Structure 1
Amino acid sequence: MRASDTERDRVAERLREAVAEGRLETDEFEHRLDAALKARTHGELAPLVRDLPSPGSTMEPAGAASPVPAGRDGTWVERIGGPATSRRAFAFWGGFNRGGRWTVGREFTAFAMWGGGHLDLREARFEEREVLVRCFAVMGGIGVTVEPDVHLEVDGVGVMGGFGEYSPMSEEAEPVPGAPRVRIVGFALLGGVDVQRKWSKAGRRKLTGGS
């Protein structure tokens, strides 16, 4: 969700209170204040005050009042916002893999020619709540895996190849409030782009209440 001027000002005021109370060093305050004034979304604002109590309080974290909704287990708040660690992937007569804990840029481009690659977003962070992933496969293949409860849009073209989404019935789930929106676009020529919804091991344990 887009942040308003009022919300940016509210976060800036919390930061000023925190530095006045000695909770933040001057350089950290200046860094966070600059980020708050430049923030465009709630996901960028929430991490700036999550570790700070409300002004005059030592109990309630200021981030608890964040307007950013949580996902099924509260983890989506933690996973949205922050600088991207990768914005592109390229394979030519080879392959690439992005998986585990990485931060997806709000615009990400993947290209594979005479090779292949895999983008696993199930444990990733997201630079913004909405990300655009462009996939281009020429005589090669790209696989994309997301958790079933994200907002997913797939809109690609396959020419003598395939571009689409496949998910087993057992992996179907409704998108939850606060989950990121992932748009996957592009084309496949004599190759394929396969998008799949599939729970990670950690996600499945949380879903079933396992340890």
Structure 2
Amino acid sequence: MSSPAPMPPSDHERDRAAEILQRACGEGRLTLEQYSARVGAVYAAESAQEIERATADLAPAPIVGSAQTVDSVTTVFSETKRRGRWRLRSPRLWLRCFFGKTDLDLREMITDQGVIEIAGLCLFGQVNVIVPEGVEVDLTGPVVFSQHNLHLAPVPRLPGTPEVRVDLVTWFGQVNVSSKPYSIAY
């Protein structure tokens, strides 16, 4: 006689695990990329053990140390790169790029916001924004003698991830928004 097949997790179990992950992300214990990967694993889980693996290492205390808090980025005749672990102070990041290049990698950004806005001006410059796959992005703003390029992987949106709105006035410049796959293993 074989043992019965395990029951798949209930919607309640999935939602409870997603809330734990969202809280951990808001408290700085998970980056946006880690949160996105884990919440995707929770909703794709076929057993309770898979859900437990996605939340098992979350300690009740936040990560020791601090992530740099940012609310604006200004680049003038130079290059700015924002990568790794950093915290968004508010739902809006002000960006100004004049005759330079700005790279923003949002994959390890810490936030608990449902919508993230990147707003500002790119004049004779280049702005590159990288988001984790499965995050919804909206690219808008006037484009004068410039380019706006949006290259997102054709994957479903991960539940619980924030929407990213990039609204940049671009004169004689280029704005590129792309998604890259997850590189974190848990």
TM-score by length of 1: 0.56
Aligned pairs for 1:77-116 (under 5 A) are 77-80=23-26, 85-104=69-88, 105-116=90-101
How many Å separate the matches in 2 of 1:154 and 1:71? 31
How many Å separate the matches in 2 of 1:93 and 1:176? 37
**Aligned twin of 1:10:** none
What are the ranges of 5 or more consecutive residues in structure 2 without an aligned counterpart?
1-13, 29-66
CA contact (8 A) 1:84 1:127 kept: no
The structure with the larger Rg is: 1
Secondary structure in 2 matching 1:187: strand
Secondary structure in 2 matching 1:172: coil
The structure-2 alpha-carbon separation of the partners of 1:70 and 1:77, relative to structure 1 and needing over 3 Å to count, comes to farther
Of Structure 1 and Structure 2, which has the larger fraction of its residues in strand? Answer: 2
**Aligned twin of 2:107:** 122
**Aligned twin of 2:172:** 190
**Aligned twin of 1:165:** 150
The structure-2 alpha-carbon separation of the partners of 1:130 and 1:81, relative to structure 1 and needing over 3 Å to count, comes to farther
CA contact (8 A) 2:22 2:112 kept: no
Q: Shift of the alpha carbon at 1:172?
A: 2.4
Match of 1:80, as an amino acid? G
Q: Shift of the alpha carbon at 1:132?
A: 0.9
Match of 1:89, as an amino acid? V
Q: Shift of the alpha carbon at 1:135?
A: 4.0
What are the ranges of 5 or more consecutive residues in structure 1 without an aligned counterpart?
1-67, 203-209
Match of 1:114, as an amino acid? F
CA contact (8 A) 1:71 1:177 kept: no
How many Å separate the matches in 2 of 1:96 and 1:115? 8
Show structure 1 runs of 4+ deviating over 6 A.
none
Q: Which of residues 108, 126, 129 is equivalent to 1:141?
A: 126
How many Å separate the matches in 2 of 1:132 and 1:81? 20
How many Å separate the matches in 2 of 1:177 and 1:84? 27
CA contact (8 A) 1:71 1:178 kept: no
Of Structure 1 and Structure 2, which has the larger fraction of its residues in helix? Answer: 1
Match of 1:78, as an amino acid? A
**Aligned twin of 2:45:** none
TM-score by length of 2: 0.63
Q: What is the number of equivalent residue pairs in this alignment?
A: 134
The alignment yields a C-alpha RMSD, in angstroms, of 2.9
How many Å separate the matches in 1 of 2:173 and 2:130? 18
The structure-2 alpha-carbon separation of the partners of 1:190 and 1:162, relative to structure 1 and needing over 3 Å to count, comes to same
Percent identity over the alignment? 20
